[in-house]
Amino acid sequence: MSYHATVLGWLAVLAACSPPAAEQAAEPMAPDTAAIRAELRAMSDRNQASYLAGDAAGVAANFADSAIAEFLGFPTAVGKAAIESTYVAYFAANKLTVAEIGIDQVSSTGPDRASALGTFHSFGESAGKPVHQWWRYVAAHTKGADGQWRISYIMAFPDSTK
């Protein structure tokens, strides 16, 4: 028997011993980005309500315990307590009557990981004067064991086009 015939024979035996294609591991399904976007929108709606109420604890509740928040002009906040403290200071200086969080793009590499690009617009009063603010942000989100999405990292900066 030739070498090639032996190799072909072994390949035939291996193929016969392999599980049928239906039993082979299927590739994981792509995340449902539309569903993730809707869940992130619900989280943003809760955040908007907290902004309008001046509720720093409510905003911080939408962050993971070890989250990092980097907002231009503010010290980097690491952890939910530091993020809440940042918002306590922000709400002490700013009374908002408008808070709009836009989600422009959502990307996901799995059912519990997503990133988003978006905008934030607010109008309110600071030191007795009306103030409009426009920001852009990029954020990483994780879905916790409780099924809730939370921000694990966010970077925001003033929107230079406004």
pLDDT digits (tens, 9 = 90+) for 45-69: 999 999 999 999 999 999 999 999 9
Share above pLDDT 90 across residues of the chain, in percent, rounded to a whole number: 76
Q: How far is CA 117 from CA 53, 136, 139, in A?
A: 24, 8, 7
Q: Is 55 helix (H, G, I), strand (E, B) or coil?
A: coil
Q: In the predicted model, what is the mean pLDDT of residues 108-115?
A: 92
Share the mean pLDDT of the chain.
87
> Are the C-beta atoms of residues 99 and 111 closer than 8 Å to each other?
no
Q: With contact defined as beta carbons under 8 Å apart, do 138 and 121 qualify?
A: no
User: Above 90 in pLDDT, residue 15?
Assistant: no
More confident site: 17 or 145: 145
Return the amino acid letter for 158.
P
Of the chain, the end-to-end C-alpha distance in Å amounts to: 79
pLDDT of 16-55, one tens digit each?
A: 555 555 555 566 677 888 999 999 999 999 999 999 999 9
pLDDT-based confidence at residue 72 (cuts at 50, 70, 90) = very high
Q: What is the pTM of this model?
A: 0.79
Instruction: Provide CB contacts within 8 A for 162, sequence distance 6+.
Output: 132, 134
The SS3 of residue 46 is: helix
Question: Is the per-residue pLDDT at 162 higher than 60?
Answer: yes
Q: pLDDT at position 160, please? A: 79
Res 31: pLDDT: 80
> Which domains are seen in the chain, by residue range?
32-158 (3.10.450.50)
DSSP string, 73-120: TS--EESHHHHHHHHHHHHHH-EEEEEEEEEEEEEEEETTEEEEEEEE
pLDDT band at 131, cuts 50/70/90?
very high
Confidence of residue 77 (pLDDT cuts 50, 70, 90): very high
